[in-house]
Structure 1
Amino acid sequence: MLVAAAVVPCPPMIVPELARGAVAELDLLRAACDQALAALVDSAPDRLVVLGAGGADASLEAGGIGTFAPYGLDLEVTLGAGAPQPLSPALTVGAWLLGRSPWAADRIAAGTAPSPVSAAQIAADADPARCATRGADLVAGPDRVALLVVGDGSACRTEKAPGYLDPRAEAYDRALGAALADADPDVLAALDPALARELWVAGRPALQVLAGAAGPGREGRLLYAEAPYGVGYFVALWS
C-alpha cells in the first residue's frame, strides 16, 4: 500500500557542480526536495521506489547507476544496491536527491539485501491506462511503499525554454500545481498525452503512475512551484 509520495523535478542544474555560478538560483528548490525526502523517510516505509520516465518500461529491483557525464560532469550516482543497470536522466536526478537524504545514511549505506530502495521506469509514451495499471501494481501487497516521483511540468513557459514559449503552458502548469496541492489523482489521470507532448511535459507518464498508485482520499502539500528556466518545477507531498 502507498503510505506517502513525493513529487520532485529533474533539472540537471539542481546539482551544484553543474550550476556553478548560478547555484544559488535553485537553493529553494533543493531545500524543498530535501524536505520532501525527509517526509518520505518519516513515513517509515518498508521500501521506497524511485519512479521516472525513460525509453521503455522497466523495473530495477536492485537499483542502478546513473551518470551526469552527458551534461559535462564526471559524476556517477547509485540507487539501491547499485546494480549495473543504467538509470534514465530522471532516475539519475532522483538518485542524486536521495543521496542527500537521511534515507541514504540510514538505509542505503546499511547495504541491506534485498535493497529497500528500487527504481521503476515508465515509458515516455505510455498511455494513461498503462500508467494507471503500473501504479496499482507498484503498491499492491502488504508492504508500506513510498514513491519518489521524478518529473517536470511544461518546458514551454518562456521564449528561452527548451520548447520555446507556448501561451497554454502557464495555465497548464497552474492546473497541475493545484492538482498536486490537492492530492487529486483524477486530474493527473486525465492529463492528455498529446497536449503534454506539445507542451514538453516530460513528467506526464510518471504523474499518471502516481495517480494509479494513490487513489482518492489523500492529503497534499505543494512545497515549490516555479519555472526558473522556463520549465515548470514542482515539489509536492502526498500522504
Structure 2
Amino acid sequence: MITRAAVVPHPPLLVPELVAGAAAETESVRAATVAAAGKLPGPWVAVAVDDSGPSTVVPPLSGTFLGYGVDVPVSLGGDLVPDPRIPLPVLITAWLREQCAVEVSRVELVPRDLPTSECVSFGQRLAGETAGLLILGDGSTRHGPRSPGSDDERSGPFDEHVHSLLAAADVDGLLSLDVELASELGAQGRAAWQILAGVPGPWRCSSAEFFAPFGVGYHVAVWERP
C-alpha cells in the first residue's frame, strides 16, 4: 500500500548547475522539492506528464541535462552511457533520486490530455504498490510578464485553488479541476495531480507550498495516511 506521496515540480531550474546566475532566486523551490521527495520511502514509483506518454521508464537508465545547457549526468540506476533523449520528468526523477539516495522502481509518463476518468483508474491501479509515490507536475506557465507564456490573470486564482486543494488533501476538488482551463493556462501537472487523487485514501496533507519564480507555478506537497 502507498502510505505517502510527494507532489513536486520538474523544471530544469531545480538543478543548480543549470541556473548558475539565478541559483539564489530558485533555492527556495529547490530546497522544498528535495525535502518533500526526501520524505518518501523507497523504492519510488514516479508519475509525470510528458508528451512522450503513455510509457513506462525503468532502470537501469542514465541521462544528461546537456540539452538544457550543462552536461550534468544523472541515473535511475546502473552505469550506462547517458541517453540524451530522456524526457525532462525522468531526468528530474533521477536527479531527485540521487539527492535522496533511494531506488526508483519506474517512472510512468502520461499524456497531458489524459481524461479525468482515466486518471482515477490509473490512481486506483497504483493503490497496491509498496512504494513511495512521486507525483511530478508544474502549475500554470502564465504568471505575469516574466512567464514563458503570455500573462493570464486567471493563473493566480487557478494555482491558489490548486494549492488549497493540495493543502487540504481534497481529492474531490482535484478531480473537479477544469481540464480545459488547466490546458489553456499551461498547467500540465493537472493529470498527475488527478492520478494522485485517484489513489484510494484517506489522505491528509502534512505540508504544502507554492512558488512562482520566472512566471511559472510550482506546487510542493506531502500527503500521508492519517
TM-score w.r.t. the length of structure 2 is 0.89
User: What per-residue deviation string (whole Å, max 9, x for no partner) do you get for residues 82-128 of structure 1?
Assistant: 7888542122112212210132xxxx4xxxxxxx5211111122111
User: 1:238 matched to which residue of 2?
Assistant: 223
Q: 1:87 to 1:177 in 2, by over 3 A?
A: same
**Amino acid across the alignment from 2:219:** F
Find the aligned partners of 1:75 and 1:164 in 2 and give their Cα distance.
30
- TM-superposed CA distance for 1:194, in Å, is 1.1
Aligned to 1:48: 44
Q: Please, which runs of 5 or more residues in structure 1 have no aligned partner?
A: 109-115
The 8 Å contact of residues 182 and 221 in structure 1, kept in 2 or not, is answered as: no
Aligned partner of 2:13 in structure 1 is: 13
Cross-structure match for 2:181: 195
State the superposition RMSD in angstroms: 2.0
Structure 2 unaligned segments of length 5 or more: list them: none
1:187-237: CA deviation from partner (whole Å, max 9, x where unpaired): 221222211110000211111111112x34211033421111111111100
- State how far apart, in whole Å, the 2-side matches of 1:184 and 1:52 are: 20
Residues 57-136 of structure 1 aligned to structure 2 (within 5 Å): 57-62=54-59, 64-81=61-78, 87-103=86-102, 108=103, 117-136=105-124
Deviations 1:52-99 (A, max 9, x none): 111221122436333312211112322145788854212211221221
Number of positions where the alignment pairs a residue of Structure 1 with one of Structure 2 = 221
The one-letter amino acid of 1:102's match is A
1:175 Cα deviation (Å)?
Answer: 0.5
1:113 corresponds in structure 2 to: none
Amino acid at match of 2:205: G
CA distance in 2, matches of 1:161, 1:79: 31
Q: State the 4+ residue runs in structure 1 displaced beyond 3 angstroms.
A: 61-66, 80-87
Match of 1:111 in 2: none
Read off the aligned partner of 2:49 and give its amino acid letter. Answer: A
Instruction: Please give the per-residue CA displacement for 1:16-53, whole angstroms capped at 9, x wherever unaligned.
Output: 11110210112122221222122113xxx5x3111111
Q: Give the counterpart of 1:226 among 191, 211, 216.
A: 211
- Which amino acid is the alignment partner of residue 32 of structure 1? A
Q: Distance in 2 between the 1:51 and 1:187 partners? A: 20
Question: Structure 1 length as normaliser, TM-score?
Answer: 0.85
